Structure 1
Amino acid sequence: MKILMVCLGNICRSPMADGLLRKKVKVEGLAVEVDSAGTSDYHIGEAPDHRMRATARQLGCPIDELRARQFSVQDFDQFDLIYAMDVSNYNNILALSRNENDTAKVHLILNELYPGENRAVPDPYFGGEQGFIDVFNMLDEVTDVVINKLKNGR
């Protein structure tokens, strides 16, 4: 199983979701690969935002080694499951979809916690420190749900 986390710039939300799920997959000994990408090309090759990295380190899930990359059509071939952080990025991903198989792989991540509500993981980029903590906690909770589904073969 291969899972891709996607936000806009791949420097806040998706690398945090990536780091949290990677850590949990390792702890559980699951055969799952995790990666992240952004729908924009704003930050290709950059490390995650310094505030997200600091929050991640502080809360026990460092993501310093991750580097931003842009989502591409080839990601549909490489990944089994693609989680978007919000509706805008979900729509950007679907715009690159080639067929129903591609489209079926794309989901809003918070629908794992709140089915059908299409809630967004807020982008903490322009906010204060608490926004990064809130995003960490939100992604920590939803990646627990993802792990439980993976452990139960769903």
Structure 2
Amino acid sequence: MPPVRVLFVCLGNICRSPVAEAMFRARAAEADLDVHVESAGTQDYHVGEEPQPGSQKVATAAGLDMARKRARQIETEDFRRFTHIIALDEDNMDVLRQRAPEDSTATVQRLMFYSDRSEEHVLDPYGLDDDAFQTMFEQLESGITGLVADLKQAH
């Protein structure tokens, strides 16, 4: 069976989705799940930039590697290249629905769909304090735990 290909998507690809990418890569490896994972933003505001310092801080504290990550914008081809496109909030989910080509083969879903938490979206900590980045991290962890379990069961 070919590997699962997952793309995490937020607005600018500098706060939430890079952490989700690194976390999912680590959790999938722990679960012995064959995956390819990337992240992207719906907008081009930060293309080529490193993740935000707050995102780097929470990722590093958890032992997650984002050293080579640079922001990129989602492309039409991503809807055919990835098996799963995971939006981190409803606004970006709406953008993904609008941009999806008719021949899209990806399952598009919000990350918190897989979570046991009550929140429907992952907090965007851009411009906020360290506590916001920690909240984001905890939300990502909950959603990714559920997503990995779901994929492990399916494959």
Change in CA separation of 1:135 and 1:118 when aligned onto 2, cut-off 3 Å: closer
Give the one of 24, 35, 40 matched to 2:38: 35
Identify the residue that residue 107 of structure 2 maps to in structure 1. 105
Q: Quote the Cα distance in structure 2 between the aligned partners of 1:98 and 1:118.
A: 29
SS at match of 1:57: helix
Identify the residue that residue 6 of structure 1 maps to in structure 2. 9
SS at match of 2:104: helix
Identify the residue that residue 137 of structure 2 maps to in structure 1. 136
Identify the residue that residue 154 of structure 2 maps to in structure 1. 153
Give the one of 59, 64, 67 matched to 1:61: 64
AA at the equivalent of 1:92? V
CA-based RMSD of the aligned residues comes to 1.9
Q: Quote the Cα distance in structure 2 between the aligned partners of 1:31 and 1:149.
A: 13
Q: Quote the Cα distance in structure 2 between the aligned partners of 1:65 and 1:129.
A: 22
* TM-fit CA distance, 1:126: 2.0
SS at match of 1:82: strand
SS at match of 1:102: coil
AA at the equivalent of 1:122? L
Give the fraction of aligned pairs with identical amino acids, expressed as a percent: 34
Q: Quote the Cα distance in structure 1 between the aligned partners of 2:58 and 2:119.
A: 26
Q: Quote the Cα distance in structure 2 between the aligned partners of 1:119 and 1:41.
A: 24
1:7·1:37 contact (CA, 8 Å) conserved in 2?
A: yes
Identify the residue that residue 26 of structure 2 maps to in structure 1. 23
Q: Quote the Cα distance in structure 1 between the aligned partners of 2:7 and 2:63.
A: 21
Paired residues, what number? Answer: 152
| TM-score, scaled to structure 1 | 0.91
Change in CA separation of 1:103 and 1:94 when aligned onto 2, cut-off 3 Å: farther
SS at match of 1:46: coil
CA offsets 1:60-96 (integer angstroms, 9 cap, x no match): 2232221110001110011010000111111111111
AA at the equivalent of 2:123? P
| TM-score, scaled to structure 2 | 0.90
2:51·2:69 contact (CA, 8 Å) conserved in 1?
A: yes
* TM-fit CA distance, 1:59: 2.3
Following TM superposition, where does structure 1 have runs of at least 4 consecutive aligned residues deviating by more than 4 angstroms? none
